[in-house]
Amino acid sequence: MSRKRVANFTPDEKAVLAQLVHNRPVIESKHTDGKTIQKKKAAWETLTVEFNCKTHVHQRDTGTLKRAWDNMKAHARKVRASQCGELNETGVSDFKKSPKDDLIYPMVEEVEPLKFCEITNSVDSDGVLLSSNDESQNENTDLIEPNDLDIIHHQEQEATPVFTQGYSNDVKSKHLKTADYIRKEAIIRIKHYEKKKRMEMKILEAQLETAESEKRTAIMEEERSRIRLEISKKELDNLMQTTRTFPM
């Protein structure tokens, strides 16, 4: 029997799903013991309930949400791989993403960061691995401010020695590649920081809009209850008057 087709996930639904998974780190745990598996199962069940309680979402089952999350992670890997490919050639990534990716992709990446992105140099095979899963780099990414690029550039200048006649061309090339790597790493960190801040603003705006919508709904429900109560009172008064007029 063919499976019933469900509605495609909207960008808002994907953002909600990413945020709910982010609140449950056990879902992306690498442990495979029985206790962790049970915790993951319970986490997905509570996530499904919470997802379906949100406004402006389609009702989804756990299996559908799991498949959607796997697809979102796969898409995020493709986006990052394309970014790294463009960066390797030009030094600046101009990968064309849809506007929806600007919100959803950083949220997915924050839950499950990719293992690494290799930055190569066209001169020779010397490369540097930039780990996006390294704890110390994650801390630096969270703390770096856009103005820090000037500081990094200043440190880069201090770290680059004044070459003398005694330096070989290979040594000069390696120092230049180190400086080039610092610039590229700073660009990646700042772009990640900006995306993260935009994502946080979008989440706050969505939460505020949801809260205001729920408040309006509660006020309308209270007004409907008040009207029903008044109608019931009038009906009771009319019934009592009728009883007095026509006693049994």
Helix pair 11-22, 99-111: axis angle to 10 deg: 20
> Do 41 and 27 meet the contact criterion of CB atoms below 8 Å apart?
no
Classify residue 40: in a domain, yes or no. Answer: yes
Amino acid 137: pLDDT:
42
Domain housing 37: 1-114
Give 17-60 pLDDT, tens digit per residue: 999 999 999 999 999 999 999 999 999 999 999 999 998 899 99
Classify residue 240: in a domain, yes or no. Answer: no
Classify residue 192: in a domain, yes or no. Answer: no
Query: Over the range 225-237, which residues count as b (16 or more CB within 10 Å of their CB) and which as e?
Result: eeeeeeeeeeeee
Counted residue by residue, the chain has a size of 248
Instruction: Categorize the per-residue pLDDT at 10 as very low, low, confident or very high, splitting at 50, 70 and 90.
Output: very high
Classify residue 182: in a domain, yes or no. Answer: no
Classify residue 172: in a domain, yes or no. Answer: no
Classify residue 65: in a domain, yes or no. Answer: yes
Give 200-229 pLDDT, tens digit per residue: 888 888 888 888 888 888 898 888 899 989
> Into how many domains does the chain fold?
1
Give 114-123 pLDDT, tens digit per residue: 444 544 444 4
Classify residue 157: in a domain, yes or no. Answer: no
Tell me the percentage of the chain whose pLDDT exceeds 90: 27
- In the predicted model, what is the mean pLDDT of the chain? 74
Classify residue 76: in a domain, yes or no. Answer: yes
Strand partners, 208: none
CB-based contacts of 153-162 (< 8 A; 24+ apart in sequence): 153/183, 153/186, 155/182, 156/182, 156/183
> Do 201 and 157 meet the contact criterion of CB atoms below 8 Å apart?
no
Burial (CB count <10 Å: 0-12, 13-18, 19+), residue 131:
middle
90: which 2 tokens?
């030009």
User: Cα separation of 200 and 191, whole Å?
Assistant: 14
Q: How many CB atoms lie within 10 A of CB 123?
A: 10
> Do 27 and 21 meet the contact criterion of CB atoms below 8 Å apart?
yes
- What DSSP state is assigned to residue 27? G
> Do 72 and 18 meet the contact criterion of CB atoms below 8 Å apart?
yes
